[in-house]
Structure 1
Amino acid sequence: MSTPLATLTRAQKAAAILVAMGKPSASKLLKFFKQEELKALIEGARLLRTIPQGDLEKIVAEFEAEFTEGAGLLDSADKMDTILNESLSPEEVDAIMSGAKPVVAPEPPQIWNDLERLDPARIGAFLAVEHPQTAALILSRLAPPFAANVLLTLGKPMRGDVIRRMLSMTTIQEAASRIVENQLRSRVLAENTGKDISAGQSRVASLLNEMDKEHLEEVMQDLEATGATDLDGIRARLFSFEDIVLLTQKARVALFDGLSTELVTLCLRGADAALTEAVLSSIGARSRRMIESELGQASDGIAAADIADARRTVASTAIRMSVEGAFELPSAQNAA
């Protein structure tokens, strides 16, 4: 059934032309319509039926526009909906039809990323004097690995209370969330500005981790002799390939689970028996046989620098996994 030309409103005629233009061109034009005009177009398009080619040409003539030869229009309402849905978000379409202003999604707050750059103990100290419900809200917004480290800094009674509240937590009112965020900015981030030395400790530790064990210990002794402070924070971030023997069996299994046999073999070239066994006991039987077979062959032609690079790769992987919460470095345990 077609829609009589004489009964078409101006909005319906405009909608007919937009549908005839096709989605690419029509989508560009929709951005220039006002909200009330878009609403009129949508309502007009939903009342349209088949428009014969002859009537369409007359509509185009009324608007003094040009229209290339086509086959007429079918299902104008559905096509207009397709154009709108591909040009505007669902919230914008709903806002237009309801008469409300289009909703602009707010940018996600950056405060949670900023908090995750701090020492978990710093966040834990703040939460320890707050209401458990506030602590539950904050921990629920942080990345799980970081939130877990923060949770471990709390006392056991509060820790359990906070977890129970997180389990039963429902939707948080936006106003309450904003209040908590503002408090964190003023009492944690602002206070921390210029005082947080964790970034500096990480930079120094990254530098020291590039050294071999002997030189690393020498530098640390020099720092201690000069009265440098916060050395415990640096030690907690230090890890070398030789420290693998100090990791727990569970940590070693997790570390070597994702490493190639070629890398592990290269790392073990020239390693002592205790270190070699600590590594081989952490991998599967098949991989162990392959590595032992390779180690039994001559290592002529393998550069010492390549072995050192491979060992640093393993050490860096261990440091990254500890930061992600997979396990704790032995240096961090000793510092604690």
Structure 2
Amino acid sequence: MALSAPAASPPEPAGRKPLSGPEKVAALLLAMGKPLASRLLKHFDQEELRHVTRSIADLGVVPMPQLEDMIEDFAGQFAHGTGLMISANDAENLLSGILSPEEIAEIMSDVTGNSNESIWQRLSGVSENLFASYLVKEHPQTAALILSKVTPACAAKVMAQLPRDLRNELMRRMVGIALVMEPVMRILESTLQDDLLVNVSRNNRAVHNSRMADIINKMEREQMEDVLQSLAEVRPKAAETLRGLLFTFDDIIKLQPRARMILFDQVPTERVVLALKGTDPAFRDAILSTLSTRSRRMVEGELANAGPAAHRDVVKARRSIAELALEMSERGEIELNSADDDDDVV
């Protein structure tokens, strides 16, 4: 969507500030009101939104005669009303409901010149343990500068996590810290954005995905497939990511023989018997081959002589074994993905 003014626009009367293309678009959007403006803004790309938002923030007062002339130029007719007194708050309000809060914050911080304040506020919300681990790897002068920019509460929490000698050294450096040139600060802010804020966001997403996968893992097999199929219809990438994190009893066949042996060493014989009821011969043989000779004889005997079991008991036994595999994997005792699958892990 082009933001430049039409070539045929008439000259502005003497004493009236001429408006650029983006400024005219900004004034018109605000004049038409949020509902209609919102429908139009959805067709703007990110760079155009930045131009318009900056224009809204800087526009100030648009006299009614100038507004009428502009509307006449663009549309030919418009309802009479008062002029516009415009501020940065109007710009932020206009974007609400169209962009996410994060996107609005990024645009507004860029427009109003508060991007440096914004990043230090966001950094102040990073976990003190993560922040401290990051700072101990930095030069003390850099670490002191960073701590001098975040909120006092954040700096105090982070310093409490640092070794005593480093904490005291950083405080000495912070007391005597000098003014840092703007280009250097921009480089530092960009680095921190990538190293802490972006990585924290990714880590939070990974933790969230893991929790969602854990929830799905505890569902019945039919419910699990139904939930994933429903999710795939609206968020296919999310469904694919979660499916890759799932581990069910059926996936035990994919474990390396040694991992299966370590796993089933921790499973009571009666639970193995229940879990193997109704499995196909190939799957059953793969599991039995990893058991000790004594355990295998006991399981084979029980399977041959015992009667049928309740479906819910079989499902419960299988789920408990799958959950045990996940717990052992988290502790580093077994590897869920075989060497052949390593290339597929993202």
Q: Same fold (TM over 0.5)?
A: no
The TM-score, its normalising length taken from structure 2, stands at 0.42
**Larger RCO (alpha carbons 8 Å, 6+ apart):** 1
For the pair shown, which has the larger CA radius of gyration, 1 or 2?
1
